């Protein structure tokens, strides 16, 4: 059998296998609700979402003045961008993460403290993402 024909069979089978694998993994992820986070931003946000959230009094006041609730916080924890240059990721007890997002065309910056058992919303700023 010529090399070109063998290469064609190989690539055809490889392509069919990739299609089956993609369909299988997609269905499995939808059934189990699992997601694959490989980038640092995605991993941090996923870890923050996995723990119970406690909100400090100062943050509660800021959220109430802007008429925000848990829906906007959940949106930021799903779609936000972690600013690693401002974050303290080296602390052993509680790591601090600065997360920026735009919710309803309103820029917001939140500071979360990620401890072993829970996550604390330390501060909230609106209209000042930098």
Residues 93 and 118 in one domain: yes
Residues 57 and 28 in one domain: no
> How far is the C-alpha of 108 from the C-alpha of 127, rounded, in Å?
6
Question: For position 105, which CATH number holds?
Answer: 3.30.2310
Residues 53-91 pLDDT 10s: 999 998 888 888 888 888 889 999 999 999 999 999 998
The whole-number average pLDDT for the span 10-21 is 94
Q: Which domain holds residue 48?
A: 40-126
Q: Does the predicted model carry a pTM greater than 0.85? A: no
Residues 48 and 107 in one domain: yes
Residues 3 and 51 in one domain: no
Residues 118 and 99 in one domain: yes
DSSP string covering 7-75: HHHHHHHHHHHHHHHHHHHHHHHHHHT-----SHHHHHHHHHHHS-EEE-HHHHHHHHHTT--HHHHHH
Residues 24 and 68 in one domain: no
């Amino acid at each position: 059998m010529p090399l070109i024909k063998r290469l064609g069979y190989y690539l055809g089978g490889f392509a069919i296998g990739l299609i089956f694998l993609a369909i299988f993994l997609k269905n499995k992820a939808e059934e189990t609700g699992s997601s694959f986070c490989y980038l640092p931003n995605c991993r941090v946000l996923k870890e923050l979402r996995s723990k119970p959230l406690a909100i400090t009094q100062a943050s509660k006041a800021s959220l109430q003045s802007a008429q925000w609730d848990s829906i906007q916080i959940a949106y930021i924890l799903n779609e936000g961008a972690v600013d690693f240059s401002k974050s303290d990721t080296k602390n052993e007890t509680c790591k601090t993460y600065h997360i920026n997002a735009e919710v309803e065309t309103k820029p917001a910056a939140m500071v979360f403290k990620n401890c072993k058992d829970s996550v604390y919303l330390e501060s909230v700023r609106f209209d000042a993402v930098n």
